[in-house]
Structure 1
Amino acid sequence: MATILCYGDSLTWGSIPNGGRYPEHLRWPTILNALLGQQHHVINFGLPGRTTLWNDPFLEGRNGLSYLQAALETFGPVDLLILMLGTNDLKRHFNVGAYEASKGVEKLIEKSRMPNTYDFAPPSVLVIAPPNILSPTGTVAESFTGAMEKSQSFHQYYQDIAIRNQCLFLNAAGEVEPSTLDGVHLDSQANQQLANAIHAVIVNNI
Protein backbone atom coordinates (compact mmCIF):
# COMPACT_ATOMS: atom_id res chain seq x y z
CA MET A 1 0.00 0.00 0.00
CA ALA A 2 1.27 3.46 -0.89
CA THR A 3 0.68 6.42 1.42
CA ILE A 4 0.09 9.63 -0.51
CA LEU A 5 0.11 12.96 1.32
CA CYS A 6 -1.68 15.83 -0.41
CA TYR A 7 -0.13 18.99 1.03
CA GLY A 8 -1.98 22.02 -0.21
CA ASP A 9 -4.31 24.91 0.48
CA SER A 10 -8.06 25.44 0.09
CA LEU A 11 -8.02 23.87 -3.38
CA THR A 12 -6.94 20.61 -1.72
CA TRP A 13 -9.01 21.11 1.44
CA GLY A 14 -12.15 21.37 -0.66
CA SER A 15 -13.34 24.96 -0.46
CA ILE A 16 -16.57 25.75 -2.28
CA PRO A 17 -16.35 28.96 -4.32
CA ASN A 18 -17.53 31.87 -2.16
CA GLY A 19 -17.82 29.82 1.03
CA GLY A 20 -18.19 26.40 2.62
CA ARG A 21 -16.52 23.03 2.16
CA TYR A 22 -17.45 20.21 -0.19
CA PRO A 23 -18.55 16.89 1.31
CA GLU A 24 -15.59 14.55 1.53
CA HIS A 25 -16.56 12.50 -1.52
CA LEU A 26 -16.40 15.60 -3.76
CA ARG A 27 -12.85 16.65 -2.79
CA TRP A 28 -10.16 15.67 -5.28
CA PRO A 29 -7.94 13.71 -2.82
CA THR A 30 -10.91 11.46 -1.95
CA ILE A 31 -11.74 11.01 -5.62
CA LEU A 32 -8.08 10.19 -6.30
CA ASN A 33 -8.15 7.51 -3.59
CA ALA A 34 -11.21 5.95 -5.22
CA LEU A 35 -9.44 5.90 -8.59
CA LEU A 36 -6.32 4.32 -7.13
CA GLY A 37 -8.21 1.76 -5.07
CA GLN A 38 -8.19 0.83 -1.41
CA GLN A 39 -4.67 -0.56 -1.57
CA HIS A 40 -3.53 3.07 -1.40
CA HIS A 41 -4.06 5.65 1.32
CA VAL A 42 -4.54 9.23 0.13
CA ILE A 43 -4.40 11.82 2.93
CA ASN A 44 -5.97 15.24 2.46
CA PHE A 45 -3.81 17.69 4.40
CA GLY A 46 -5.01 20.86 2.73
CA LEU A 47 -5.52 24.03 4.74
CA PRO A 48 -7.19 27.21 3.48
CA GLY A 49 -4.77 30.11 3.31
CA ARG A 50 -1.62 27.96 3.41
CA THR A 51 1.38 29.49 1.64
CA THR A 52 4.64 27.92 0.56
CA LEU A 53 6.73 29.66 3.21
CA TRP A 54 5.22 33.05 4.05
CA ASN A 55 3.84 33.98 7.46
CA ASP A 56 0.40 35.50 6.98
CA PRO A 57 -0.23 38.34 9.45
CA PHE A 58 -3.98 37.72 9.23
CA LEU A 59 -4.07 33.89 9.46
CA GLU A 60 -2.13 31.84 12.00
CA GLY A 61 -0.26 28.66 11.10
CA ARG A 62 -0.35 29.01 7.33
CA ASN A 63 3.40 28.80 6.63
CA GLY A 64 3.69 25.54 4.69
CA LEU A 65 7.41 25.13 5.25
CA SER A 66 7.05 25.33 9.03
CA TYR A 67 4.64 22.39 9.21
CA LEU A 68 5.82 20.06 6.47
CA GLN A 69 8.24 17.97 8.52
CA ALA A 70 5.65 17.45 11.25
CA ALA A 71 3.12 16.38 8.62
CA LEU A 72 5.52 13.90 7.04
CA GLU A 73 6.32 12.41 10.44
CA THR A 74 2.67 12.37 11.54
CA PHE A 75 1.53 10.41 8.51
CA GLY A 76 4.82 8.69 7.69
CA PRO A 77 6.30 6.92 6.13
CA VAL A 78 4.93 8.79 3.11
CA ASP A 79 5.57 7.26 -0.32
CA LEU A 80 4.40 10.18 -2.44
CA LEU A 81 4.12 13.84 -1.47
CA ILE A 82 1.83 15.94 -3.65
CA LEU A 83 2.58 19.65 -3.41
CA MET A 84 0.02 22.11 -4.76
CA LEU A 85 0.75 25.45 -3.13
CA GLY A 86 1.37 28.98 -4.33
CA THR A 87 -2.07 30.43 -4.96
CA ASN A 88 -2.11 32.19 -1.58
CA ASP A 89 1.44 33.46 -2.15
CA LEU A 90 -0.09 35.78 -4.75
CA LYS A 91 -2.26 37.61 -2.24
CA ARG A 92 -1.70 41.33 -2.42
CA HIS A 93 -0.14 41.72 1.04
CA PHE A 94 2.73 39.32 0.27
CA ASN A 95 3.79 41.33 -2.79
CA VAL A 96 5.44 38.37 -4.56
CA GLY A 97 4.83 36.54 -7.83
CA ALA A 98 4.86 33.06 -9.34
CA TYR A 99 8.66 32.96 -9.38
CA GLU A 100 8.89 33.46 -5.62
CA ALA A 101 6.12 30.90 -5.10
CA SER A 102 8.09 28.36 -7.13
CA LYS A 103 11.17 28.99 -5.00
CA GLY A 104 8.99 28.35 -1.97
CA VAL A 105 7.97 25.03 -3.49
CA GLU A 106 11.65 24.21 -4.02
CA LYS A 107 12.28 24.79 -0.32
CA LEU A 108 9.43 22.39 0.48
CA ILE A 109 11.01 19.75 -1.75
CA GLU A 110 14.33 20.23 0.02
CA LYS A 111 12.63 19.99 3.41
CA SER A 112 10.92 16.72 2.43
CA ARG A 113 14.32 15.17 1.68
CA MET A 114 16.03 16.15 4.92
CA PRO A 115 16.75 13.53 7.61
CA ASN A 116 13.86 13.07 10.00
CA THR A 117 13.35 11.83 13.54
CA TYR A 118 12.20 8.35 12.50
CA ASP A 119 14.56 7.75 9.57
CA PHE A 120 11.68 7.51 7.12
CA ALA A 121 12.86 7.34 3.52
CA PRO A 122 12.17 10.60 1.66
CA PRO A 123 8.99 10.48 -0.41
CA SER A 124 8.72 10.86 -4.14
CA VAL A 125 7.33 14.30 -4.95
CA LEU A 126 4.69 15.42 -7.41
CA VAL A 127 4.76 19.18 -8.01
CA ILE A 128 1.48 20.64 -9.24
CA ALA A 129 1.42 24.13 -10.73
CA PRO A 130 -1.84 25.60 -9.41
CA PRO A 131 -4.68 26.57 -11.74
CA ASN A 132 -4.54 30.06 -13.18
CA ILE A 133 -6.56 32.57 -11.19
CA LEU A 134 -9.44 34.13 -13.10
CA SER A 135 -10.75 37.60 -12.36
CA PRO A 136 -11.24 37.41 -8.56
CA THR A 137 -14.72 38.29 -7.36
CA GLY A 138 -16.73 38.18 -4.15
CA THR A 139 -14.98 37.64 -0.83
CA VAL A 140 -11.55 37.00 -2.37
CA ALA A 141 -11.50 39.99 -4.72
CA GLU A 142 -9.47 42.37 -2.55
CA SER A 143 -6.95 39.80 -1.38
CA PHE A 144 -6.15 38.65 -4.91
CA THR A 145 -5.91 42.01 -6.63
CA GLY A 146 -3.30 41.62 -9.40
CA ALA A 147 -3.00 37.85 -8.91
CA MET A 148 -4.65 36.88 -12.18
CA GLU A 149 -1.71 38.14 -14.26
CA LYS A 150 0.90 36.70 -11.90
CA SER A 151 -0.67 33.24 -11.94
CA GLN A 152 -0.15 32.91 -15.69
CA SER A 153 3.52 32.11 -14.99
CA PHE A 154 2.93 29.29 -12.49
CA HIS A 155 3.45 26.47 -14.98
CA GLN A 156 6.73 27.81 -16.37
CA TYR A 157 8.48 28.29 -13.04
CA TYR A 158 7.03 25.19 -11.39
CA GLN A 159 8.05 22.95 -14.26
CA ASP A 160 11.61 24.27 -14.04
CA ILE A 161 11.67 23.51 -10.30
CA ALA A 162 10.25 20.02 -10.84
CA ILE A 163 12.80 19.15 -13.52
CA ARG A 164 15.72 20.53 -11.55
CA ASN A 165 14.73 18.53 -8.46
CA GLN A 166 13.74 15.34 -10.31
CA CYS A 167 10.07 15.49 -9.33
CA LEU A 168 6.93 14.48 -11.15
CA PHE A 169 5.05 17.46 -12.57
CA LEU A 170 1.50 18.41 -13.49
CA ASN A 171 0.28 21.74 -14.80
CA ALA A 172 -3.19 22.02 -13.28
CA ALA A 173 -3.97 25.00 -15.51
CA GLY A 174 -3.89 22.65 -18.46
CA GLU A 175 -6.60 20.51 -16.87
CA VAL A 176 -8.95 22.81 -14.92
CA GLU A 177 -9.82 26.41 -14.23
CA PRO A 178 -11.47 27.96 -11.20
CA SER A 179 -15.15 28.66 -10.93
CA THR A 180 -16.27 32.03 -12.25
CA LEU A 181 -18.15 32.45 -8.96
CA ASP A 182 -14.97 33.68 -7.28
CA GLY A 183 -12.16 33.11 -9.78
CA VAL A 184 -10.00 31.12 -7.35
CA HIS A 185 -11.69 27.94 -6.10
CA LEU A 186 -12.75 24.81 -7.97
CA ASP A 187 -16.25 23.59 -8.67
CA SER A 188 -17.10 19.92 -8.15
CA GLN A 189 -16.49 19.03 -11.80
CA ALA A 190 -13.01 20.54 -11.66
CA ASN A 191 -12.25 18.46 -8.55
CA GLN A 192 -13.11 15.34 -10.55
CA GLN A 193 -11.04 16.47 -13.53
CA LEU A 194 -8.04 17.28 -11.35
CA ALA A 195 -8.21 13.90 -9.64
CA ASN A 196 -8.30 12.21 -13.04
CA ALA A 197 -5.25 14.16 -14.21
CA ILE A 198 -3.25 13.41 -11.06
CA HIS A 199 -4.18 9.74 -11.30
CA ALA A 200 -2.87 9.62 -14.86
CA VAL A 201 0.47 11.11 -13.77
CA ILE A 202 1.13 8.92 -10.75
CA VAL A 203 -0.43 5.57 -11.69
CA ASN A 204 2.87 4.25 -13.03
CA ASN A 205 5.04 5.93 -10.40
CA ILE A 206 3.85 4.56 -7.06
Structure 2
Amino acid sequence: MTTILCYGDSLTWGSVPNGGRYPKHLRWPSQLNERLGKHHQVINLGLPGRTTLWNDPFLEGRNGLAYLQAALETFGPVDILIIMLGTNDLKRHFNVGAYEAAKGIEKLIEKSKMPNTHGFPSPILLIIAPPNILSPNGAVAESFDGAVEKSQHFHQYYQDVAVHNKCLFLNSAGILQPSEIDGVHLDAQANEQLAEAVFSLLKGKV
Protein backbone atom coordinates (compact mmCIF):
# COMPACT_ATOMS: atom_id res chain seq x y z
CA MET A 1 0.00 0.00 0.00
CA THR A 2 1.51 3.29 -1.14
CA THR A 3 0.69 6.23 1.14
CA ILE A 4 0.38 9.63 -0.54
CA LEU A 5 -0.13 12.65 1.71
CA CYS A 6 -1.63 15.78 0.13
CA TYR A 7 -0.58 18.71 2.30
CA GLY A 8 -2.37 21.85 1.26
CA ASP A 9 -4.91 24.55 1.96
CA SER A 10 -8.54 25.07 0.91
CA LEU A 11 -7.73 24.13 -2.71
CA THR A 12 -6.85 20.64 -1.45
CA TRP A 13 -9.48 20.55 1.31
CA GLY A 14 -12.18 21.11 -1.31
CA SER A 15 -13.60 24.59 -0.76
CA VAL A 16 -16.45 25.54 -3.05
CA PRO A 17 -15.99 29.07 -4.44
CA ASN A 18 -17.66 31.52 -2.05
CA GLY A 19 -18.66 28.91 0.52
CA GLY A 20 -19.07 25.26 1.41
CA ARG A 21 -17.08 22.08 0.77
CA TYR A 22 -17.32 19.72 -2.17
CA PRO A 23 -18.48 16.15 -1.52
CA LYS A 24 -15.52 13.84 -1.05
CA HIS A 25 -15.71 12.34 -4.55
CA LEU A 26 -15.29 15.77 -6.18
CA ARG A 27 -12.10 16.75 -4.31
CA TRP A 28 -8.92 16.24 -6.33
CA PRO A 29 -7.13 13.96 -3.80
CA SER A 30 -10.12 11.56 -3.86
CA GLN A 31 -10.14 11.63 -7.65
CA LEU A 32 -6.40 10.94 -7.66
CA ASN A 33 -6.96 7.93 -5.40
CA GLU A 34 -9.65 6.65 -7.75
CA ARG A 35 -7.24 6.85 -10.70
CA LEU A 36 -4.36 5.19 -8.83
CA GLY A 37 -6.46 2.34 -7.50
CA LYS A 38 -6.98 0.42 -4.28
CA HIS A 39 -3.29 -0.29 -3.63
CA HIS A 40 -2.75 3.42 -2.95
CA GLN A 41 -3.99 5.49 -0.03
CA VAL A 42 -4.30 9.18 -0.83
CA ILE A 43 -4.79 11.26 2.33
CA ASN A 44 -6.35 14.70 2.02
CA LEU A 45 -4.71 16.90 4.64
CA GLY A 46 -5.88 20.20 3.26
CA LEU A 47 -6.86 22.96 5.68
CA PRO A 48 -8.47 26.26 4.67
CA GLY A 49 -6.21 29.21 5.41
CA ARG A 50 -3.01 27.16 5.78
CA THR A 51 0.19 29.04 4.88
CA THR A 52 3.69 27.77 4.23
CA LEU A 53 5.11 29.07 7.52
CA TRP A 54 3.26 32.23 8.58
CA ASN A 55 1.19 32.52 11.75
CA ASP A 56 -2.14 34.05 10.81
CA PRO A 57 -3.38 36.47 13.50
CA PHE A 58 -6.97 35.81 12.46
CA LEU A 59 -6.90 32.00 12.08
CA GLU A 60 -5.33 29.66 14.62
CA GLY A 61 -3.16 26.69 13.64
CA ARG A 62 -2.57 27.60 10.01
CA ASN A 63 1.26 27.54 10.00
CA GLY A 64 2.10 24.69 7.64
CA LEU A 65 5.68 24.29 8.81
CA ALA A 66 4.63 23.93 12.45
CA TYR A 67 2.40 20.92 11.75
CA LEU A 68 4.23 19.07 8.97
CA GLN A 69 6.38 16.83 11.16
CA ALA A 70 3.36 15.75 13.20
CA ALA A 71 1.47 14.99 9.99
CA LEU A 72 4.31 12.86 8.62
CA GLU A 73 4.47 10.91 11.87
CA THR A 74 0.70 10.54 12.16
CA PHE A 75 0.31 9.03 8.69
CA GLY A 76 3.81 7.61 8.30
CA PRO A 77 5.58 6.13 6.71
CA VAL A 78 4.56 8.45 3.87
CA ASP A 79 5.81 7.36 0.45
CA ILE A 80 4.90 10.50 -1.47
CA LEU A 81 4.31 13.97 -0.02
CA ILE A 82 2.45 16.43 -2.24
CA ILE A 83 2.73 20.05 -1.13
CA MET A 84 0.50 22.73 -2.65
CA LEU A 85 0.66 25.81 -0.45
CA GLY A 86 1.32 29.50 -0.93
CA THR A 87 -2.00 31.01 -1.99
CA ASN A 88 -2.78 32.17 1.54
CA ASP A 89 0.73 33.60 1.91
CA LEU A 90 -0.41 36.28 -0.55
CA LYS A 91 -3.13 37.62 1.73
CA ARG A 92 -2.73 41.34 2.23
CA HIS A 93 -1.93 41.21 5.95
CA PHE A 94 1.19 39.03 5.44
CA ASN A 95 2.69 41.54 2.99
CA VAL A 96 4.82 38.95 1.16
CA GLY A 97 4.97 37.65 -2.40
CA ALA A 98 5.59 34.47 -4.38
CA TYR A 99 9.32 34.60 -3.66
CA GLU A 100 8.75 34.42 0.11
CA ALA A 101 6.13 31.69 -0.38
CA ALA A 102 8.70 29.66 -2.34
CA LYS A 103 11.21 30.11 0.48
CA GLY A 104 8.51 28.79 2.81
CA ILE A 105 8.10 25.76 0.53
CA GLU A 106 11.84 25.18 0.78
CA LYS A 107 11.61 25.10 4.58
CA LEU A 108 8.83 22.51 4.28
CA ILE A 109 11.03 20.41 2.00
CA GLU A 110 13.86 20.58 4.53
CA LYS A 111 11.50 19.62 7.35
CA SER A 112 10.22 16.58 5.43
CA LYS A 113 13.78 15.27 5.03
CA MET A 114 14.74 15.54 8.69
CA PRO A 115 15.42 12.26 10.53
CA ASN A 116 12.59 11.02 12.74
CA THR A 117 12.51 8.77 15.78
CA HIS A 118 10.55 6.07 13.92
CA GLY A 119 13.12 5.49 11.20
CA PHE A 120 10.65 6.41 8.45
CA PRO A 121 12.43 7.12 5.14
CA SER A 122 12.03 10.56 3.60
CA PRO A 123 9.10 10.70 1.18
CA ILE A 124 9.30 11.46 -2.50
CA LEU A 125 8.21 15.09 -2.84
CA LEU A 126 5.92 16.66 -5.41
CA ILE A 127 5.75 20.44 -5.27
CA ILE A 128 2.72 22.01 -6.95
CA ALA A 129 2.81 25.71 -7.78
CA PRO A 130 -0.67 27.08 -6.98
CA PRO A 131 -2.82 28.47 -9.79
CA ASN A 132 -2.75 32.15 -10.65
CA ILE A 133 -5.34 34.11 -8.70
CA LEU A 134 -7.96 35.78 -10.88
CA SER A 135 -9.76 38.95 -9.87
CA PRO A 136 -10.84 38.16 -6.28
CA ASN A 137 -14.59 38.49 -5.69
CA GLY A 138 -16.97 38.16 -2.78
CA ALA A 139 -15.78 37.13 0.67
CA VAL A 140 -12.11 36.80 -0.36
CA ALA A 141 -11.84 40.11 -2.21
CA GLU A 142 -10.33 42.19 0.60
CA SER A 143 -7.96 39.49 1.85
CA PHE A 144 -6.45 38.96 -1.59
CA ASP A 145 -6.27 42.59 -2.63
CA GLY A 146 -3.02 42.96 -4.61
CA ALA A 147 -2.46 39.18 -4.90
CA VAL A 148 -3.27 38.73 -8.60
CA GLU A 149 0.06 39.99 -9.91
CA LYS A 150 2.05 38.30 -7.12
CA SER A 151 0.53 34.90 -7.92
CA GLN A 152 1.80 35.05 -11.50
CA HIS A 153 5.33 34.48 -10.16
CA PHE A 154 4.53 31.20 -8.33
CA HIS A 155 5.67 29.06 -11.26
CA GLN A 156 9.11 30.62 -11.61
CA TYR A 157 10.10 30.57 -7.93
CA TYR A 158 8.53 27.20 -7.10
CA GLN A 159 10.18 25.50 -10.03
CA ASP A 160 13.58 26.86 -8.97
CA VAL A 161 13.07 25.51 -5.44
CA ALA A 162 11.81 22.14 -6.68
CA VAL A 163 14.71 21.64 -9.10
CA HIS A 164 17.29 22.76 -6.55
CA ASN A 165 15.94 20.27 -4.00
CA LYS A 166 15.42 17.43 -6.51
CA CYS A 167 11.65 17.35 -6.13
CA LEU A 168 8.99 16.55 -8.69
CA PHE A 169 7.25 19.70 -9.89
CA LEU A 170 3.87 20.62 -11.36
CA ASN A 171 2.77 24.08 -12.41
CA SER A 172 -0.98 24.01 -11.87
CA ALA A 173 -1.39 27.36 -13.63
CA GLY A 174 -0.42 25.58 -16.84
CA ILE A 175 -3.43 23.28 -16.68
CA LEU A 176 -6.19 25.10 -14.81
CA GLN A 177 -7.42 28.35 -13.35
CA PRO A 178 -9.62 29.15 -10.34
CA SER A 179 -13.32 29.71 -10.63
CA GLU A 180 -14.36 33.17 -11.79
CA ILE A 181 -16.94 33.14 -9.00
CA ASP A 182 -14.36 34.14 -6.38
CA GLY A 183 -11.09 34.11 -8.34
CA VAL A 184 -9.28 31.87 -5.81
CA HIS A 185 -10.94 28.48 -5.32
CA LEU A 186 -11.32 25.60 -7.76
CA ASP A 187 -14.49 24.51 -9.48
CA ALA A 188 -15.29 20.83 -10.02
CA GLN A 189 -13.65 20.78 -13.44
CA ALA A 190 -10.40 22.22 -12.07
CA ASN A 191 -10.34 19.57 -9.34
CA GLU A 192 -10.62 16.92 -12.03
CA GLN A 193 -7.92 18.55 -14.15
CA LEU A 194 -5.53 18.68 -11.19
CA ALA A 195 -6.18 15.04 -10.26
CA GLU A 196 -5.47 13.97 -13.83
CA ALA A 197 -2.26 15.99 -14.04
CA VAL A 198 -0.93 14.61 -10.75
CA PHE A 199 -1.89 11.09 -11.80
CA SER A 200 0.01 11.46 -15.08
CA LEU A 201 3.06 12.69 -13.19
CA LEU A 202 3.00 9.93 -10.56
CA LYS A 203 1.80 6.86 -12.45
CA GLY A 204 5.30 5.77 -13.44
CA LYS A 205 6.66 6.34 -9.93
CA VAL A 206 4.21 4.50 -7.65
Distance 1:117 1:193 in 2: 38
Give 1:22-37 correspondences, 5 Å limit.
22-37=22-37
Partner of residue 17, structure 1: 17
Distance 2:6 2:16 in 1: 18
1:88 lines up with 2:88 in the alignment: yes
TM-score (norm 2): 0.99
Partner of residue 60, structure 2: 60
Distance 1:65 1:54 in 2: 8
1:173 lines up with 2:173 in the alignment: yes
2:89 aligned counterpart, secondary structure: helix
Partner of residue 203, structure 2: 203
2:6 aligned counterpart, secondary structure: strand
| Residue 117 of structure 1: how far off its partner (Å) | 2.1
Partner of residue 146, structure 1: 146
2:169 aligned counterpart, secondary structure: strand
Ranges of 4+ aligned residues in structure 1 off by more than 4 Å: none
2:25 aligned counterpart, secondary structure: helix
| Residue 98 of structure 1: how far off its partner (Å) | 0.2
Partner of residue 6, structure 1: 6
- Figure out how many residues of one structure are paired with residues of the other and give that number: 206
- Unaligned runs of at least 5 residues, structure 1: none
Partner of residue 100, structure 1: 100
Distance 2:150 2:202 in 1: 28
2:60 aligned counterpart, secondary structure: coil
Q: Counterpart of 1:91 in structure 2: which amino acid?
A: K
| Residue 119 of structure 1: how far off its partner (Å) | 1.2
1:189 aligned counterpart, secondary structure: helix
- Unaligned runs of at least 5 residues, structure 2: none
CA deviations on 1:56-94 (whole Å, 9 max, x unpaired) are 000000000000000000000000000000000000000
Distance 2:149 2:102 in 1: 16
Distance 1:199 1:170 in 2: 11
Distance 2:99 2:198 in 1: 23
